[in-house]
Amino acid sequence: MTIFDVVEQYAAFGVHRSGTETQAATAEWLASELRARGGEAELQPVEFPRYVADWAVTIEGDEVEALPLFYEAVGSATSTDPTRWPAFSPPGAGPMGVTGALEETMATVGEVVVAATQNLLGFLSVSNRGTELGSGVHVLQVAGHHGGALADGASVTARIDARVENATCPNVVARFGDIDNAERLTILTTPISGWFQCAGERGTGVAVALEMAERLAEHAPLLFLGATGHELGAFGATAMHADHADRAHTLLHVGANVGCDWPASDQLSAPDHSHMAARLATDNPNIDPIADAFARVGARLDTPPRDRSQWFGEAAEWLDTPQVLSFLGQNPWFHAPGDLPGISCTAERTEAVTTAFTEAALHLIGR
């Protein structure tokens, strides 16, 4: 099996949202892959409040792909004339971000909003959510290319029925070697859940992390943590940190979009690695070999302060660890349905990043 075969298998499971049958099957598959590489793997369920909904949006009589703003509201609502937001930025706090938009229009907004999400290429593109209930207004997000129709008065209908229920979703934990007696334990972590098929966002990270686990375990004991709940406030990573933070000496975080290249797309003609970056926190003054390793895949090495605002994803949970190395990037299909093998990510890029990250990690742990 090649490294990119892992990406394709991960994406083939389908939508990777936490608490779904698909994600449970993905966790079982990941555990079996870790065992095949010599790890002692198990699933550790994590409790969380799961948002469950049924919904539909039509524009000019045609049903379009949509996704609710999870946890913003529960209950049932139907509208033949919903409030329209033609340019909606889910993570933003400004006038068209979720907080600003709801605060500024609450007096006039109805039970249901249909919002066209902003994205570089006009996709449906959603942001991560916490699990706390929001304003009570149902927001149904659609692709950005529908923004013109919403603004021009096209006929729109929307319905939704949503609830929150207690659920569990598994983290995947694997031990390589005698971690109980390891003097300086290395932890390798990557998120395993997301909004859609997430080939580039999550699949390449899973593939890189699996290969790194096998290679690094030849040199030192290693604990592998596959974190669920990434799209919902990273609740799986929080649970893992609570269980293992007191043992960690070096934390290796394989973040989002690590194997992303998109020359296969006719929408973007060339790859863009300008947003690829590694972040490092260590007292070791000799970091040039780490910088050199990432430079070979077109990524810079940053050394920001141990401030959560300067770190992204699950790495921010581990800033109390003596050494933290995190690598992540971006792609235009990030948090969008089109994040698929051969579109957002390639075998060549995934393999190159695996080599670079492994080389950097071995230097960091002194092997």
The pLDDT assigned to 273 comes to 57
The pLDDT assigned to 95 comes to 44
The pLDDT assigned to 264 comes to 46
Say yes or no: 216 and 336 in one domain. Answer: yes
Q: pLDDT per residue over 7-27, tens digit each?
A: 999 999 999 999 999 999 999
Over residues 179-202, the mean pLDDT reads 95
- Judge whether 46 lies within some domain: no
Sequence-distant (≥ 6) Cβ neighbours of residue 61 within 8 angstroms: 155
Q: Can you say whether residue 74 is alpha, beta or left, with left for phi > 0 and alpha for psi between -120 and 50 degrees?
A: beta
Residue listed under structure tokens 């194997």? 259
Give dist(CA 224, CA 248) in Å, integer.
12
CATH number at residue 156: 3.50.30.30
Say yes or no: 120 and 217 in one domain. Answer: no
Sequence-distant (≥ 6) Cβ neighbours of residue 70 within 8 angstroms: 51, 53, 129, 232
Say yes or no: 346 and 248 in one domain. Answer: yes
Say yes or no: 182 and 281 in one domain. Answer: yes
Tell me: pLDDT of 353 over 80.
yes
Say yes or no: 267 and 322 in one domain. Answer: yes
Say yes or no: 228 and 322 in one domain. Answer: yes
The pLDDT assigned to 285 comes to 87
Over residues 200-210, the mean pLDDT reads 97
The pLDDT assigned to 120 comes to 75
Q: pLDDT per residue over 39-73, tens digit each?
A: 999 999 999 999 999 999 999 999 999 999 999 99
The total number of structural domains in the chain stands at 2
Say yes or no: 271 and 303 in one domain. Answer: yes
Q: pLDDT per residue over 312-323, tens digit each?
A: 889 999 999 999
Range of the domain at 154: 51-163
Indicate the average pLDDT of the chain: 91
The pLDDT assigned to 235 comes to 96
Which one of 111, 141, 163 terminates a domain?
163
Sequence-distant (≥ 6) Cβ neighbours of residue 91 within 8 angstroms: 97, 98, 127, 128
Say yes or no: 94 and 229 in one domain. Answer: no
- Judge whether 202 lies within some domain: yes
Pick from 252, 244, 237: nearest CA to 179: 244
- Judge whether 293 lies within some domain: yes
Say yes or no: 214 and 94 in one domain. Answer: no
Which one of 113, 139, 163 terminates a domain?
163
The pLDDT assigned to 110 comes to 80
CATH number at residue 305: 3.40.630.10
- Judge whether 219 lies within some domain: yes
Instruction: Report the b/e string of 176-199 with b at 16+ CB within 10 A.
Output: bbebeeeeebbbbbbbbbbbbbbb
Which one of 132, 163, 194 terminates a domain?
163
Are 344 and 199 contacting, i.e. CB atoms less than 8 angstroms apart? yes
The pLDDT assigned to 102 comes to 63
The pLDDT assigned to 96 comes to 46
The pLDDT assigned to 267 comes to 56
Q: pLDDT per residue over 70-128, tens digit each?
A: 999 999 999 999 999 998 877 654 444 555 556 656 556 788 999 999 877 888 999 89
Say yes or no: 142 and 15 in one domain. Answer: no
- Judge whether 70 lies within some domain: yes
Say yes or no: 204 and 333 in one domain. Answer: yes
Say yes or no: 59 and 106 in one domain. Answer: yes
Q: pLDDT per residue over 242-287, tens digit each?
A: 999 998 999 999 999 999 986 545 555 555 555 688 999 999 889 9
Pick from 234, 236, 265, 248: nearest CA to 123: 265
- Judge whether 172 lies within some domain: no
Give the H/E segment covering residue 29.
Answer: helix 21-36
Are 335 and 127 contacting, i.e. CB atoms less than 8 angstroms apart? yes
